[in-house]
Structure 1
Amino acid sequence: MKKSKNVNEYIENSSEESRSIMEELRQIIKSTVPEAEERIAWNVPNYKLNGVLAGFAAYSKHVSVGFSEGGLSDEERKLFGDKGYKTGKGTVQIKFDQEVPSTIIKQVLKSHAKMNESRKK
């Protein structure tokens, strides 16, 4: 995929299957932490609030959403895993046929925003 100048362009340039997931993730992030700065970083949509907060990227079979530099806690990973989502150190894969786990994502965003705030002090 070619480099995008902004998040709208990134979503438009992505596969049709991934767009609705990314639009929903974008809406969740912007409504949960409206003060976060939206940008393109590392060639993908990224949100910054007292450091990196979250980001997402489209792949051939899923959209990956990642959380702050510290990654996911074991408890957060379990929340996603129990609902059938594949997780990594700081990422969650949302397959095209899965619903976006909005409640868990909102919870994690709020927690990571607080962590970033406390690290800043």
Structure 2
Amino acid sequence: MADVAACPCGRLDAAGRGLPYADCCGRYVDDFDGTPAPDAEALMRSRYTAFVRERADYLLATWQTSKRPSRVSFDAGAKWLGLEVRKHRVIDDGHAEVEFVARLREPSGRAVRLHERSRFVREDGRWYYVDGDHQ
């Protein structure tokens, strides 16, 4: 997947075109140490992109330590179909929620919608995914 291809997260530019991966989530996924996501929505979008690109390293690094699993696995043959951010709510300087729907097709061909309200926390100036409630 070229860095000029539209970012999987679906963010659009002012003209309604998909932003290139390198100008969108790629800067966070590919440079975790140097370029943290600026807010919870950007982190959630970049985590979706990391699922699409099977970047377990980024997913683990952006998971808040108290809830971080020991590993992340991916379903071979699953195809991510799109992301819709429904709401981004800032609770205070260190807490936010993002409601989203992610769509995928399982290897069996079954279509799945993941509807979640995710919680995020900011620690030492960096946003982390905590957990979420499936809707």
Q: TM-score, structure 2 length as denominator?
A: 0.30
The answer to which structure has the higher strand fraction is 2
Larger radius of gyration between Structure 1 and Structure 2: 2
The answer to which structure has the higher helix fraction is 1
Q: State the structure with bigger RCO (CA 8 A, min sep 6), 1 or 2.
A: 1
